[in-house]
Chain A
Amino acid sequence: AQSVTQPDIHITVSEGASLELRCNYSYGATPYLFWYVQSPGQGLQLLLKYFSGDTLVQGIKGFEAEFKRSQSSFNLRKPSVHWSDAAEYFCAVGGYSTLTFGKGTMLLVSP
């Protein structure tokens, strides 16, 4: 069975500082990996996805993620966080079927 672990329930980062959100997955085959962001009371917006090819994936809003097969990880990074990045971030894994989501990491941005 596929699963996703986001070990950090919440993270606080100073505005302008760098960010890394961790994601580990378990999947029986080559995974498709996703990062979504959710603002309060809103749906999910796709930040980036990995299907194949280059293991460093660029997304929207300045985010990137790196797929590391040996570590079963797909960590999300951003070099300089903005206050508007405060939201909840979900990592997800799936194939041609449904997605399995992690429990999310709430990002708080301090001034």
Chain B
Amino acid sequence: GAVVSQHPSRVICKSGTSVKIECRSLDFQATTMFWYRQFPKQSLMLMATSNEGSKATYEQGVEKDKFLINHASLTLSTLTVTSAHPEDSSFYICSARAGGNTEAFFGQGTRLTVV
């Protein structure tokens, strides 16, 4: 299957700083990328959907000013957690889908710890 690379796999940051997570589709063009958040022992909760070249669509309850999503190219989407707080500590996973294909391929996830 297609490969989606997420970077970094782990990051620790200080409270109040911002962290950027990258999601890249390595061997296909991803017109749509999804960002999920997973709390310990919980399922994946969709945060936002981004289409290349347009603004992301955020799910209800997700602060768009806190979780900035950019999908500037067909192979890269970024999630920036701004002014991070300890409660933002979580596992963030992206997935990418080529246009017209219902299967989305997942990155390996990023473990964010805010101290």
A residues apposed to B, CB below 8 Å: 32, 36, 41-46, 49, 51, 90, 94-96, 98-104, 106
Taking CB as reference atom, which chain A residue is nearest B44? A101
| Segment at the interface with A among B71-79, B80-88, B104-112 | B104-112
- Docked-complex contact A43 and B106, CB < 8 angstroms: yes
B41, B93, B102 — most chain A CB neighbours (10 Å): B102
> What is the bound-complex CA distance between A90 and B43, given in angstroms?
8
- Docked-complex contact A32 and B6, CB < 8 angstroms: no
- Docked-complex contact B34 and A98, CB < 8 angstroms: yes
> What is the bound-complex CA distance between A8 and B108, given in angstroms?
25
Q: Which residues from A are CB-within-8-Å of B106?
A: 36, 43-46
Give chain A nearest CB distance to B10 CB in angstroms: 8
